[in-house]
Amino acid sequence: MRIQLLTANKLITGLFCLLMSICSWAQVKPVILVFGDSLSAEYGLPRGTGWVNLLEERLVIDKSPWSVFNASISGETSSGGLTRLPALLRQKNPGIVIIELGANDALRGLPVNQTEANLRKMIQISKKSGAKVLLCGIQIPTNYGQTYTMQFKRLYSQLANQEQVQLLPFFLDGVATKPELFQPDRLHPNVEAQSVLFKNVWGSMAPYSNLLKKSP
Instruction: Identify whether 105 is a catalytic site residue.
Output: no
Q: Is 74 assigned a catalytic role?
A: no
CA distance 27 to 162: 31
The candidate with the shortest Cα–Cα distance to 78, out of 105, 59, 110, is 105
- CA 184 to chain CA mean position, Å: 26
Q: Pick the catalytic residue: 21, 67, 185, 204? A: 185
User: Which of 67, 74, 173, 188 is an active site residue?
Assistant: 188
Is 185 among the residues known to form the active site? Answer: yes
Q: Considering 37, 38, 126, 129, which one is annotated as catalytic?
A: 38
Q: Any bridge partners for residue 189, and if so which? A: 182
- Residues noted as catalytic: 38, 185, 188
